[in-house]
């Protein structure tokens, strides 16, 4: 049995990014029963009730993972970075530390709430 492209994407990362990305994948997939994982445009995407919610990627300069929130413009949190993006905001994650679960909980609650706007 061959691996799906999305599984291969996570498995081909180098440590500690690999473990961090896999932990983020688990967190996002299990955050809410309405969150579903998809593989589109060679990117792991997550939809909430069939609407684009977020995606996982790695920063080109640091190789650190980040979560990009589709409705980031409606989310206000000091840890979210907008940069030159008009719609999305990103949450950078340091793969050398444990996942900041309380922070993730706060930001994902904001992301779900942003769908009401």
**pTM score of the predicted model:** 0.93
- Over 60: is that where the pLDDT of 117 sits? no
Domains by residue range for the chain, with CATH: 5-114 (3.90.1150.200)
All residues at 6 or more sequence positions from 109 whose CB lies less than 8 Å from its CB, including other chains: none
pLDDT, mean over the chain: 94
pLDDT band at 113 (very low <50, low <70, confident <90, very high): very high
All residues at 6 or more sequence positions from 33 whose CB lies less than 8 Å from its CB, including other chains: none
For the stretch 23-41, pLDDT in tens is 999 999 999 999 999 999 9
């Amino acid at each position: 049995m061959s691996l799906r492209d999305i599984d291969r994407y996570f498995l081909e990362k180098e440590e500690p990014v690999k473990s961090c990305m896999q932990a983020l994948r688990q967190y996002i997939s299990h955050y809410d029963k309405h969150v579903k994982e998809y593989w589109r445009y060679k990117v792991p995407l997550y939809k909430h009730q069939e609407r684009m919610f977020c995606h996982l990627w790695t920063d080109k300069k640091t190789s650190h993972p980040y979560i990009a929130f589709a409705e980031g413009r409606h989310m206000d949190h000091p840890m979210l970075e907008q940069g030159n993006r008009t719609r999305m905001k990103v949450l950078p994650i340091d793969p050398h530390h444990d996942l900041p679960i309380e922070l993730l909980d706060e930001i994902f609650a904001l992301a779900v709430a942003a769908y009401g706007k």
